[in-house]
């Protein structure tokens, strides 16, 4: 199967970060990577691949060279996407309907979530033989819908409508009498009384589709940032680092500021890199030197030029779908890219024949932020912010360039195949 079809299957099977990490873990297992547990001591064999998860929603995978190592070459991305989370008392009855009490997770385009069948997914914590065990759960069927008010009761709806998440965004899950917990227990195959707690989300389960002349575009939920996350693991599986350790880390909670125990603003990456180094006998000075010689790609999708609103974009630094990997710039360093990291990444792409395009926001638009600069506060290495151009970021259904998946894979493979040697401050050989 080609990369694009594999990505489409992954997107459909990964409605929340829990399924994304479960599926990425499955890819790693199939590729011979061994699972590590953070709560045990690690002993590592040279030449092997390993992965570790935290909170079942973040994963870091790495491959060791045959002997020793000089530094790390890291690709970072995120596993979460904007959606709605069920509140602890989620069931609500009104006007003959069974509704769900939900709140926003991250910043989505609210209107795109209306009038489309939605599903539920997340994880359950289940009582099992005296233990509390977290289990990913994916309904994978149409169980809910958030209806619009008819235009006859809102004649100004096409002039723009303000949607209140407490009032307008509650999904219907059935007729009065239906309740969420019974449905969840049934879907998960567990008894209602065995469910101790749940992290459940309302998700879009639309199948990813290719569209347009020549099937140039891919429409799917969660392209931001599962497209980069999948590419990072796919590329790592093919990597064979010689003097360095190749790493893919996929963090949860980027959409809500990364400040959780499993987010980019946690100790996860520094814990894992430190433990790898320790298991290989590189501690203290040698670990610090290895980190100083390391390089990171912060991979998160970018904004393609909008066909009807070009005025929202900088006139020179705009990017197109299928135009290649995007390098992102921001003077205030919301994106980590600087001249040094740009030069290294673009040189790798140039040699590999991967097209590169450059993005910067209009100077009067604050733009978004991502995880590279946050991760840098914990593991400070030369980093460049990259991504793939897409439309409608944070819509329930986003669109990206179908040919760009291969561009990103080629770039990441070339990155892992390159030996980036940081010789000193301001001198890097590629």
Regarding 385 and contact with Zn ion (CB under 5 A), the answer is no
Rank residues 71 and 303 by Cβ distance to Zn ion and give the closer one: 303
Nearest by Cα to 199 from 146, 131, 252: 252
Q: Please state the closest distance from residue 396 (CB atom) to Zn ion, in A.
A: 15
C-alpha–C-alpha distance, residues 326 and 314, integer Å:
15
User: Which residue in this structure is represented by tokens 């994880």?
Assistant: 123
Rank residues 223 and 290 by Cβ distance to Zn ion and give the closer one: 223
Stretch that binds Zn ion, among 12-20, 105-113, 158-166, 294-302 (CB under 5 A): 294-302
Return the SS3 of 140: coil
User: Which residue in this structure is represented by tokens 């990964």?
Assistant: 14
Rank residues 172 and 249 by Cβ distance to Zn ion and give the closer one: 249
List binders of Zn ion among 85-124 (CB under 5 A). none
Going by C-beta distance under 8 Å and a sequence separation of 6 or more, which residues neighbour residue 207?
8, 12
C-alpha–C-alpha distance, residues 312 and 192, integer Å:
50
Rank residues 49 and 106 by Cβ distance to Zn ion and give the closer one: 106
User: How large is the greatest C-alpha to C-alpha distance in the chain, in angstroms?
Assistant: 71
C-alpha–C-alpha distance, residues 281 and 269, integer Å:
18
Regarding 224 and contact with Zn ion (CB under 5 A), the answer is yes
Burial of 152 (0-12, 13-18, 19+ CB in 10 A): exposed
Q: Please state the closest distance from residue 371 (CB atom) to Zn ion, in A.
A: 8
Rank residues 265 and 300 by Cβ distance to Zn ion and give the closer one: 300
- Answer for which of 22, 252, 300, 404 binds Zn ion (CB under 5 A) is 300
Q: Please state the closest distance from residue 139 (CB atom) to Zn ion, in A.
A: 25
Burial of 421 (0-12, 13-18, 19+ CB in 10 A): middle
Rank residues 199 and 224 by Cβ distance to Zn ion and give the closer one: 224
Q: Please state the closest distance from residue 224 (CB atom) to Zn ion, in A.
A: 4
- Answer for which of 22, 80, 225, 404 binds Zn ion (CB under 5 A) is 225
CB 184 within 8 A of CB 114: no
Q: Hey, what are 263's tokens? A: 């987010």
CB 48 within 8 A of CB 42: no
Stretch that binds Zn ion, among 104-112, 155-163, 218-226, 348-356 (CB under 5 A): 218-226
Q: By rule CB under 5 A, what count of residues binds Zn ion?
A: 3
Rank residues 274 and 368 by Cβ distance to Zn ion and give the closer one: 368
Stretch that binds Zn ion, among 87-95, 216-224, 278-286, 411-419 (CB under 5 A): 216-224
Nearest by Cα to 358 from 332, 330, 399: 330
Stretch that binds Zn ion, among 264-272, 273-281, 293-301, 339-347 (CB under 5 A): 293-301
Q: Please state the closest distance from residue 120 (CB atom) to Zn ion, in A.
A: 23
Nearest by Cα to 76 from 300, 325, 400, 408: 300
Regarding 252 and contact with Zn ion (CB under 5 A), the answer is no
Binding stretches for Zn ion (CB under 5 A): 224-225, 300
């Amino acid at each position: 199967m080609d990369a694009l079809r594999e990505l489409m299957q992954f997107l459909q099977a990964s409605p929340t970060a829990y399924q994304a990490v479960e599926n990425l873990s499955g890819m790693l297992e199939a590729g011979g990577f061994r699972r590590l547990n953070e709560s045990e001591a690690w002993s590592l064999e040279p030449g092997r691949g390993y992965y570790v998860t935290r909170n079942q929603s973040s994963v870091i995978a790495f491959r060791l060279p045959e002997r020793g190592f000089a530094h790390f070459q890291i690709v970072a991305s995120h596993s979460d996407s904007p959606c709605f989370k069920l509140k602890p008392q989620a069931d609500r009855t009104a006007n003959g309907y069974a509704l769900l009490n939900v709140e926003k997770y991250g910043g989505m385009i609210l209107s795109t979530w209306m009038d489309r069948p939605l599903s539920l997914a997340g994880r359950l914590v289940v009582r099992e033989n005296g233990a509390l065990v977290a289990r990913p759960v994916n309904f994978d069927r149409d169980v809910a819908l958030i209806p619009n008010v008819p235009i006859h009761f809102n004649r100004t709806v096409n002039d723009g409508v303000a949607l209140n998440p407490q009032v307008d965004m509650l999904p219907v899950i059935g007729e009065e009498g239906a309740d969420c917990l019974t449905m969840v227990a049934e879907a998960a195959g567990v008894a209602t009384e065995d469910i101790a707690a749940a992290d459940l989300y309302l998700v879009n389960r639309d199948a990813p589709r290719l569209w347009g002349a020549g099937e140039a575009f891919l429409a799917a939920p969660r392209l931001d940032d599962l497209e980069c996350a999948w590419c990072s693991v796919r590329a790592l599986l093919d990597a064979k680092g010689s003097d360095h350790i190749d790493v893919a880390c996929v963090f949860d909670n980027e959409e809500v500021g990364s400040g959780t125990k499993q987010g980019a603003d946690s100790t996860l990456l520094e814990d894992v890199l430190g433990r790898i180094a320790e298991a290989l006998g590189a501690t203290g000075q040698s670990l610090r030197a290895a980190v100083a010689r390391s390089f990171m790609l912060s991979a998160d999708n970018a904004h393609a030029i909008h066909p009807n609103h070009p005025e929202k974009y900088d006139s020179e630094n705009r990017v197109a779908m299928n135009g290649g990997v995007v390098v992102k710039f921001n003077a205030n360093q919301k994106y980590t890219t600087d001249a040094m990291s740009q030069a290294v990444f673009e040189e790798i792409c140039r040699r590999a024949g991967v097209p590169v395009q450059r993005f910067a926001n209009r100077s009067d638009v604050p733009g978004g932020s991502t995880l590279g600069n946050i991760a840098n506060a914990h593991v400070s290495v030369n980093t460049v912010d990259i991504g793939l151009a897409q439309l409608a970021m944070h819509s329930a259904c986003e669109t990206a360039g179908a040919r760009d998946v291969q561009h990103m894979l080629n770039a990441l493979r070339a990155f892992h195949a390159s030996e980036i040697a940081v010789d000193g401050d301001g001198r890097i050989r590629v």
